[in-house]
Each structure stands twice: as C-alpha cells, then as structure tokens.
Structure 1
Amino acid sequence: MTALFIGLLAAFIIGFLANSYWIENIVHLALYAEKYIADFGIGGFNFLFDIFLGYGISLIVLKFLKKGFDIYILWVDGDADADPIILLTNFFRAMTLAIGFPVIYEVVAKIVENATTEVLNAIGLNIENSSLGMLNDLMTIGIAPIILYSIFTVVFIYLNIQFVVRGLEILVLRTGIPLAATGLMDADKGVFKTYIQKFIQEFFTVLIQVVLAKLGLALMRNWNMQDYTAYFGIAAMILAVKTPRFLQEFIIVSSGGGGMNGIYSTARMAQITRSLFRG
C-alpha cells in the first residue's frame, strides 16, 4: 500500500516538474498572454486593442475641448490667464502615449525579459540547473522526502496559476492604456499615475517570481536528504507566491479618484454631444 502511495505521488510530481517548457516561457506568457490564448482558438485581440484605442482618442479629444471651453470661455476651471500651450502640450502628450504605447510596451517588455535572463544567469539559475535531477529516484527516497516534494509541487502549481493571472492582468492594463492616457490632460496626471504604478508593480512581480521559482527548483534539485535544502526550496516557492503582497509594501498604488472623475466627466460630455447632434 505504501509503495502504491509513493508511486502515485511520484507520478504526480514528475508530471508537473519534469517539463521545463512552462518555466522557460513563463516570462513571455506573462507579458504576451494574448499570444498563448490565441493558441486555444481565441484571437482577435489586435482588434480589441484598436477598439479601445479609438475610444481613448475620442475621449482625449473631448476632454481637450471640454477643458479648453471651461478654462478660456466659461472661466469655471483652471486659470484663464494660463498659457494655452500648456493645455495643448498635455493634449499631444496624451495622444502620443495612446497611439505609441504598443511600441513603448515592446521596448519595456524586452527590457523585462532581458533583465530576468541576466539575473538568472548571474546566480546560475538557468534551465538545466532548475530541472529536478532526483526525479528518477523518487520511487526509492522514502515517504517523508516525497511528501516534501509533493508540498513543493502543489505550491509550484499554484504559482503557475498566478503567472497566468498576472498575464491576464497585464493584458487588461495594456488594453485600457488609451483610456488611462486621458489622465495626462490633468495637472496631477489623474488615473494615469496610478495606472503606471500598477504596470511597474506587475513587471517587478513577474521578474521576482520567476527568479524565486527557479531558485526553489534548483534548491530541490540539490537536496541530499541530510540537510534543510528542501525547506529553503519550499520557502522560496512560497515567497514567490506572496510576492505581489510583499511588493505592495514598497510600490503603493495610490488612489486615482481625480482621474476617474475626469474620465467620467469626459464620458458625460460625449453623451451630451451625441444628444445634441441627435436633437
């Protein structure tokens, strides 16, 4: 009975840890989740980006017209004596970001991928070192060590799910950037400031989680059954899971109430404009 139990646990562990493809491509998955979703037959994300880009540009134009009207005609917002070039500069800044963000994102994503690779190479956590060398011996190592391997594997599976969630979060952020760019029309940058902080937190989370995951794999590989290496490996994997909460203590996403109010007022302006034309 014990041998059967060990065999089942060994098969469970090998099924998830023997394949290095997942951990090898995890950074790319987090940064370009839509490419992997397309493999499941669900595409069209480029059209989705175009749709939000169109709405974002429309909101930026409407907000520009509304702010100009409120400041220089109604005198109910801002300083009527302010140089109009400031408003015009903010308008072009918002338009440039909304239109050029795909190019900017490609550059930033490449930097994140290269930084992750360099960090892994610097501490010797390449793909070969991250694979478990003891997988073939799982049937003979005993019940206690294989239970530790099972705990590690469960945390590893949960971390993989977190990577998928991270990829979907970044995908949502990328889709909504043209709308968030309307915040650049405000003096305090509105919701855009919070948006960029969230992007930075996501990028750092991906980098740290990948490094910790590979560190945990390498530690488990080097476990000789007579030390505490396995505990360090499990601890590294648990810390990888807790990375988002850990980073929140240092990268605090501030509230963007002003920016959300700006987007709401711009959307309201769009509704009023449509009703006027219909009338």
Structure 2
Amino acid sequence: MEVILVLLIVAILNGAVIFIDEMLSGLVPMTLNADQYMTAVGGGSMVSVLFDILLGFGVSLIILKFLKKGFECYVMWTDGDPDAEPAYLVIRFIQAIAVAVCFPVMYGWLAEITQSLTDELMAAISASTGYNWQAWVNGISSLGLVTAIFGLVFVICYFVLYFQFLMRGLEIMILRIGLPLACVGLLDSDKGIFKTYINKFFQTTFAVVVQICLCKLGVGMMMNVSIMNIFWGIACIVLAIKTPRFLSEFMVPTGGGGAGVINNMYHSVRLVGMAKGMVK
C-alpha cells in the first residue's frame, strides 16, 4: 500500500514539475503587467484604454475640486485658511495633474527597478541553491511515504502561491487604473486618500519581490532532499503565502487620511477607558 501511494505521489509530482519549472521564470513581469498576459492573444493593453478613460474623469474631478476649494476658501471663507497663500493650492493642483498624467511613465520606471532588483536577488539565491527538479522527484521517491507527502504539500503550496501571484497582478492592475482618481486627494493638505492609496500600491509591489525570493529560496532548500531542508523549504513557501499579511503589520500609513482618523479615535477611546478604570 505504501509503495502504491509513493508511486501515485511521484506521478503527481512529475506532472507538476513541468508547470513549476516554467512558472518560476517570468513571475515578476506577469505580476507587474498582468494586462499584457491576459490580452496576449488579442493584442493591446486594456490598462491603457481604461487608464485613459479614468484619466479624463480624474483630471475633471481635480479641476472641479480645485475650483471648489478656491471658491470656498478665498471667496466664501467657509473652508480652509483664507490667510494661506493661494500659491499652495495652485502647487497642489499642478502636482495632482502631473502625477495623474505622468503615472504610466513613472510606473514603467518602477517596473524596471523591481525587475532588476528581483533578478539580482534571484541570481544571488540561485548561486547558493542550485537544483534539478527531476533529481528531486527521484530523491523523493526513494525516501519513503512521509517525505513524498511533504513534497506533495510543498507543490500544493507552490500552486497556491502562484494563484496568489495572479491575484496580486490583478490588484496592481486595478491600482494602476484607479490612480488618477486617487490623485484628487493631493489637493488636500494631508494628501487625503492618495497617501493610503500609494502606500497600498508600494506594499503590493514590495510583497511580490519578497514572495518571489522566498519562493526561490524554498525551492532551493527543498531540492536538497533531507528532512531538515524539507522543513525549511515548506516554511519558506508558507511564509511567502503569508507575506502580504506580514507586511501589512508594519507598512501602515500614519497620520492623514481615513486610517489616521480611525487610529486616533481608537487610541482616544482606549485612553478614556483606561482613565475610567483608574477612577473606579
């Protein structure tokens, strides 16, 4: 019975290895430019078309908000500080328009930097953890059922991580398309929604780099077929899956925006509760 299970798992691993070897290369461009892979057959990029639509809408909102804030502040004196220099509002208006219009170029630079950084990190990891998929499968098959099960768990986690990369690519695509609308927040002195939005954008991009490096490290550790290295390999791949949650614990915007208000309210309520406890 054990031999049959081992042979079944090895057959599954042999089928999965073909896909894994192809998927490991090209994860960064696929994640950062998901639209190009989704429309590879038809050609073109849906992001460019949708971005142009939202760019026109976002610029219109920026202009309307600029006129509204200027009228309420310097004509009606009902909003903001009328004594503040109008030049500050004009500078924020120009900044919002410039970021919205120039974002595709800036994103191209970000994608190139991310790709270059990831390539260097992957090369450094590969230098220390060379591997051969077929040799790994053969080694798994000779070490018994328990090791084969661990190998199967690793492959399942790998595919889960791959689908997470696909979702991360869709997240980045949505953030790219919606950025002109977020630029409306640049007209506010505290950057408004733009601060939280751009923080989420960089957090998602950085998560991709960390996940790919952990995945590469996990594969390298797993290929050295020994019980301890198998445990390290599974630990790396599981941490790669949990990377977005791990990063969100410290990559949180402080001050400004809705998140800052909520945090301030939360701490204020806690202080009031502690004061009541001390009085009692």
Amino acid at match of 1:231: F
C-alpha distance 131-70 of structure 1, shift in aligned 2 (>3 A) = farther
User: What is the match of residue 10 of structure 2?
Assistant: 10
Match status 1:237 vs 2:234: no
Secondary structure, counterpart of 2:130 in structure 1: helix
* Partner in structure 2 of residue 247 of structure 1: 247
Structure 1 CA distance for aligned equivalents of residues 14 and 52 of structure 2: 43
Aligned mates of 1:213, 1:190 — CA distance in 2: 36
> What is the alpha-carbon distance in structure 2 between the residues aligned to residue 35 and residue 15 of structure 1?
27
Cα distance change, pair 80–253 in 1 and its aligned pair in 2 (3 A): closer
Change in 2 beyond 3 A, CA 1:258/1:222: closer
Q: Select between 131-140 and 110-119 the one with higher mean Cα deviation.
A: 131-140
Q: Percent identity?
A: 41
Give 5+ residue unaligned stretches, structure 2: 261-280
Please give the alpha-carbon distance, in whole angstroms, between the structure 2 residues aligned to 1:140 and 1:120.
29
8 Å CA contact 1:130–1:215 kept in 2: the answer is no
Aligned residues: 256
Which structure exhibits the higher relative contact order, with contacts defined as CA atoms closer than 8 Å and separated by 6 or more residues? 1
Match of 2:269 in 1: none
| Deviation for aligned residue 1:77 | 0.8
Q: Matches of residues 86-165 of structure 1 in structure 2 within 5 Å? A: 86-124=88-126, 129=130, 131-132=132-133, 133-165=135-167
CA contact (8 A) 2:126 2:220 kept: no
Alpha-carbon offset, residue 5 of structure 1: 2.7
What residue is the counterpart of 1:30 in the other structure? Answer: 31
The separation in 1 between residues aligned to 2:245 and 2:18, in whole angstroms, is 29
Rounded to whole Å, the distance in 2 between the matches of 1:120 and 1:163 is 17
Root-mean-square deviation over aligned CA pairs: 2.2
Q: Distance in 2 between matches of 1:258 and 1:169?
A: 20
Name the counterpart of 1:270.
none
Other-structure match for 1:206: 208
* Structure 1 gap ranges (5+): 260-279
Query: TM-score under structure 2 normalisation?
Result: 0.85
Please, what TM-score do these two structures have when normalized by structure 1? 0.85
d(CA) in 2 for partners of 1:104, 1:155: 34
* 1:238 positional shift: 0.5
